[in-house]
Structure 1
């Protein structure tokens, strides 16, 4: 997959992070994409930082049973709202591991930021002093696409559009605990099968989920037209399509997670390893 954005960001060096008891953690893999709110910072040892520590520490214990996590700490200007969502087809072990890695990586990827989102392939993590339900448009959006082009753009799109439209409708109608749908019954150019996946955070209403997915799917002609694979990542919703199977068709319910890990010690401002050669990142702010 190739990551695209308005600004090309290149990073260097590696980071490490410690638990409060000074036990060194293994460095998790890089996010496939992440976004930091550059306008809002918090200071070290501030009330906001303490609330962020509390919110992220408690977050793993709030599993809905379907891989959705939601916790808030503090109040007023220092409130921290945290949300995590595991992809609907991953098992509980992968979900917990992805969330734990996200909580480490987000603090080093966006040091001292009051609002940030990190995307792994199996989960996303978002925290903010705003509620995620107030986030509209493409703020923190990321687009990734396969560099391979289809042999027949019109035919490919004529199959892709109804596939994603059907998945959007099914996911939006999924109820308050799980808004997730997959399918692989569409045939594109050269008799290739197109696989699709869509998901919303489950506390969106049916209309909010539908609108989020519809607005982002409309961007395919602008950024992914003719590409045989692509994905659009937002804190509220996401979708992906490929010409190969990338999801687990026998996905089950994600069981509740174990007690939360120790509070993470805030990491100092550092830089991340550089992106793979030829990779660019499109940022929607």
Structure 2
């Protein structure tokens, strides 16, 4: 893989000829570029080799990155099938207020991530992070789309995964939905690297 891609945290590679063509995509979290990205992708490749040695397709998520290998070209398309969610087993005290304010923070971050003026060079950032005070707690959150998407497709992906908020995160102290096209996470502690 080209080490320059680790600087921007995204890579998409296609290898082989039909019917044996393979597509590889990786995306690092918005705070994990350069050597942090490279080490996460190395761990992901090793993890897939160990867990899925003969599979034609697989996806692996780590806190800092995702890595996917597939026989299906998903470039610039939303993957509605490969996702999952995790949440903290502990609940907050005021679920209704917390859900409302956390959802508002995620929407605010989505607007920032999909802002057509939010570019580095000629590429959309499609990532945003922030925090918000809710009652006596600070909530830290981030949203991110893979860099093959455009802002409108990214916004549609966020709209789709936010529908899982009530399933995954209803009143939970932390939660995330991980998809191969977009993801979000929030916690009551800072989880991003500076």
Alignment pair present for 1:100 and 2:42? yes
Distance in 2 between the 1:180 and 1:135 partners? Answer: 16
Residues 99 and 125 of structure 1 are in contact (CA less than 8 Å); yes or no, is this contact kept in structure 2? Answer: yes
Structure with more of its chain in strand, by fraction: 2
Distance in 2 between the 1:100 and 1:136 partners? Answer: 23
Structure showing greater Rg? 1
Aligned counterpart in structure 1 of residue 128 of structure 2, from 181, 188, 197: 181
Deviation at 1:111, TM superposition (A): 2.2
Alignment pair present for 1:136 and 2:79? yes
Residues 84 and 123 of structure 1 are in contact (CA less than 8 Å); yes or no, is this contact kept in structure 2? Answer: yes
**Structure 2 match to 1:63:** 5
**Structure 2 match to 1:238:** 183
Gaps (5+ residues) in structure 2?
A: none
1:181 aligned counterpart, secondary structure: strand
What pairs with 1:220-235 in structure 2 (closer than 5 Å)?
220-235=165-180
Deviation at 1:60, TM superposition (A): 4.3
Deviation at 1:228, TM superposition (A): 1.2
Residues 172 and 200 of structure 1 are in contact (CA less than 8 Å); yes or no, is this contact kept in structure 2? Answer: no
Aligned counterpart in structure 2 of residue 115 of structure 1, from 57, 76, 82: 57
Give the count of matched residue pairs: 188
Q: CA RMSD in A?
A: 1.6
Residues 168 and 214 of structure 1 are in contact (CA less than 8 Å); yes or no, is this contact kept in structure 2? Answer: no
What pairs with 1:122-161 in structure 2 (closer than 5 Å)?
122-133=64-75, 134-137=77-80, 139-161=81-103
Alignment pair present for 1:193 and 2:135? no
**Structure 2 match to 1:203:** 148
Bigger relative contact order, structure 1 or 2 (CA pairs below 8 A, ≥6 apart): 1
Give 4+ residue runs of structure 1 displaced > 4 Å after superposition.
none
1:65 aligned counterpart, secondary structure: helix
Gaps (5+ residues) in structure 1?
A: 1-58, 251-285
